[in-house]
Amino acid sequence: MSTEVKCSDCGSRDIHHDDARGEVVCNTCGLVISESAIDPGAEWRVFADQDKGGGMERAGQKSTQLLHDKGLSTDIDWQNKDFSGKAITGNRSQLYRMRKWQRRARVANSGERNLAVALAEVVRMCSQMDLPKSITEEAGVLYRKAQQAKICRGRSIEAVVAAVVYITCRITDIPRTLDEVAQHARAGRKEIGRTSRFIVRKLKIRVHTPKAREYVARFCSKLQLDATVEAKASEMIREIEKRGEDNGKGPVSICAAAIYIASILLGQRRTQRECSDAAGITEVTIRNRYKEIVALLDINLEV
C-alpha cells in the first residue's frame, strides 16, 4: 500500500499499515496515526464538557451512520487469545462456532452487505465533493431509509447513492447542481435525476426548489471575487425574488447573471465565459438573464 502520510509526531515517513487491526502505525516512534483504515480522512472530536455526565462515553471509534454496523461490532480475533493476550483455554470448537455466528450476524444478509458497499460510496462521493461531514452522515441516514423503503430494488447502488447525496445537499440548503453531483458519481446524470425524484416521492421528503442566493457564495469563491461583489449580487437577487421575477427561471442562471453584473459594477469584471463556467451553464443563458436583470432593476453598466 503506498502512502504519503507523515508521522504527525516525529515526522518520519517510515510507516506501515497493520491490516489486521486497521491501524496506520509509525515505525519510528510507534504512534498510531489513524485508527481506522476504513475512513482515513475522518476526524472526530470529544467535547469533554458536553459529554460530561451525559452517558455518552464509549470505547472505540465514534458511532457513525457511515459504517454498516455503525462501527460498534466486536471482533473475535483469529488467534486463540483473549483481550489481554492470554491464551483461551476452553473448548476450541465453541470458539469456532462463535466466530462463524459473528461473521453471519454482521455481514451475512444481503441488505447489510448492500449497505456496507453503499455507505463506502457515500463517503467517497462526499469527500470528493468536499461536502461537510454532517452531510455525509445525513446522506447515510437517507440511504438507510431508502433501503428500508425497498427503493434500491432494480436500481444500481451507485445511482441511489448519488441521488441520496443530491437530495441531502438540497434539503440542507447547500445545493449542488445535478451536473456537479454527476461529475463525482458513478451513475449518469439522467439516472440520478430520475432516481432522486423517485426517492423524494416515495419517502415524501419535502424539498423546496433551490434559491438563487444559495449559490452566490460558492460561485463567487470559484471566480475569486471578494465579499463586496458577493453582497451586491445577493442584494440584486433579493430584489428579483421579492418581485417574483425569478418565476420559472433556473436559479443557477439568475445567480450567475447577477454575479456577472456585480463583478462589472464593482470593477472586478469577469467574462461571461468565466461566469458561465463557474455556474455550469452557457454564455447565452447569462446574456439572456443579465439583460432582463439590467432592464428590471434599471442598472447602468456604463463606467
Partner DNA sequence: AAGACGAAAGTGGTTGA
Partner DNA sequence: TCAACAACTTTCGTCTT
Q: What is the distance, to the nearest Å, from the Cα of residue 109 to the centroid of all Cα atoms in its chain?
A: 26
Determine the interface stretch with DNA among 20-28, 64-72, 80-88, 243-251 (rule: CB under 7 A). Answer: 243-251
Distance (Å) of CA 125 to CA 171, 181, 191, 221: 17, 8, 16, 21
Is position 268 an interface residue for DNA (rule: CB under 7 A)?
Answer: no
Is position 199 an interface residue for DNA (rule: CB under 7 A)?
Answer: no
Phi, psi of 246 (to 5 degrees): -95, 5
- Beta carbon nearer to DNA, 268 or 288: 288
Is position 284 an interface residue for DNA (rule: CB under 7 A)?
Answer: yes
Q: Say if CB 58 and CB 46 are below 8 A apart.
A: no
- Beta carbon nearer to DNA, 133 or 287: 287
Of the candidate residues 6, 70, 124, 249, the single one contacting DNA (CB under 7 A): 249
Determine the interface stretch with DNA among 36-44, 101-109, 163-171, 276-284 (rule: CB under 7 A). Answer: 276-284
CB of 282 to DNA, least distance (A): 4
Is position 252 an interface residue for DNA (rule: CB under 7 A)?
Answer: yes
- Beta carbon nearer to DNA, 52 or 273: 273
Q: Say if CB 33 and CB 25 are below 8 A apart.
A: yes
The grid cell for 125 is 462521493
- Beta carbon nearer to DNA, 112 or 292: 292
d(CA 230, CA 216): 6
Report the 10 Å Cβ neighbour count for 207.
13
The interface with DNA within residues 100-159 (CB under 7 A) comprises none
Is position 40 an interface residue for DNA (rule: CB under 7 A)?
Answer: no
d(CA 78, CA 96): 9
CB of 256 to DNA, least distance (A): 9
Q: What is the distance, to the nearest Å, from the Cα of residue 96 to the centroid of all Cα atoms in its chain?
A: 39
Phi, psi of 49 (to 5 degrees): -65, -45
Is position 253 an interface residue for DNA (rule: CB under 7 A)?
Answer: yes
- Beta carbon nearer to DNA, 102 or 282: 282
CB of 298 to DNA, least distance (A): 16
Where helices occur in the chain by DSSP H, the ranges are 48-51, 92-107, 110-128, 133-148, 157-171, 178-184, 189-203, 213-222, 227-242, 251-265, 272-279, 283-297
- Beta carbon nearer to DNA, 68 or 289: 289
Is position 22 an interface residue for DNA (rule: CB under 7 A)?
Answer: no
CB of 153 to DNA, least distance (A): 20
The grid cell for 50 is 458536553
Residues that bind DNA (CB under 7 A): 190, 193, 197, 247-250, 252-253, 269, 271-273, 280-285, 287-291
